[in-house]
A and B are shown apart, each in its own frame.
Chain A
Amino acid sequence: DTEVTQTPKHLVMGMTNKKSLKCEQHMGHRAMYWYKQKAKKPPELMFVYSYEKLSINESVPSRFSPECPNSSLLNLHLHALQPEDSALYLCASSQESFSGRDNEQFFGPGTRLTVL
């Protein structure tokens, strides 16, 4: 199984709502990532988890809260978002988080988030 799954596929939420995005992989990968992608722009790294511990936080606002319950799951909890947070949120996983070696990241299809 070389697939990263993400749910939901689409999400519409108000600025006062609390919602969560979910990501799952069963490739035994120990690194998992959240990216944000605006239309016609490259993905921007938000968070990296390595062995279920947060290793990189790219100065993401606290209204985005990541969680890694186990090595296969990655969540992104959303609260009090702004309309400018509307984007495609991509999850990815790789064997390890170290660069300098072949370390292909496998991406999920993303969750299309709209904040009203």
Chain B
Amino acid sequence: GESVGLHLPTLSVQEGDNSIINCAYSNSASDYFIWYKQESGKGPQFIIDIRSNMDKRQGQRVTVLLNKTVKHLSLQIAATQPGDSAVYFCAETTNTNAGKSTFGDGTTLTVKP
């Protein structure tokens, strides 16, 4: 149930497996990145963020990895649960575009019980 490196529009995993959702960004000047979760009928919800001076940050069951060399961001979800089923977006911002976040294409995660 993992995909490494490649952005996939959909990802299906078994409950309890780990999930990896990938995102490529284009602006090398981006210095702040956020992962959002959007459930059906709701607005995006903040999951975790990372600044460009870090390459890894951990939260509860989630880890974000940043590879600035290849402009790649990933979200790892441990022990995926049915409640994790949603669309996941990464977003990038730069210091020069105060307030402007650019969202990447989302990945729809489906967790099978």
Contacts and interface: CB of A to CB of B under 8 A. Distances in A.
B32 interface: yes
Interface size class of B (residues with CB under 8 A): 20 to 34
Contacts of A100: 31-32, 93, 95, 98
B100 interface: yes
Specify the main secondary structure of chain B where it touches its partner: loop
Contacts of A48: 99-100
B59 interface: no
Interface size class of A (residues with CB under 8 A): 20 to 34
Interface stretch (B13-21, B65-73, B76-84, B101-109): B101-109
Nearest to B31: A100
Given A4-B43, A92-B43, A105 B101 contact: yes
B49 A102 contact: yes
B31 A105 contact: no
B41 interface: yes
Interface stretch (A66-74, A76-84, A106-114): A106-114
Given A42-B103, A42-B106, A56-B99, A99 B32 contact: yes
Contacts of A42: 89, 103-106
Contact of A109 (B32, B42, B49): B42
Pick the most buried of B42, B93, B101, B105: most chain A CB atoms within 10 A of its CB: B101
Contacts of B89: 42-43
Given A100-B93, A103-B32, A107-B44, 20 more contacts: A41-B105, A42-B104, A43-B89, A45-B100, A45-B102, A55-B98, A98-B98, A98-B99, A99-B32, A99-B93, A99-B94, A99-B95, A99-B100, A100-B31, A100-B32, A104-B34, A105-B34, A107-B36, A109-B43, A110-B42
Interface of A: 4, 31, 33, 40-45, 48, 50, 55-56, 58, 90, 92, 94, 97-110
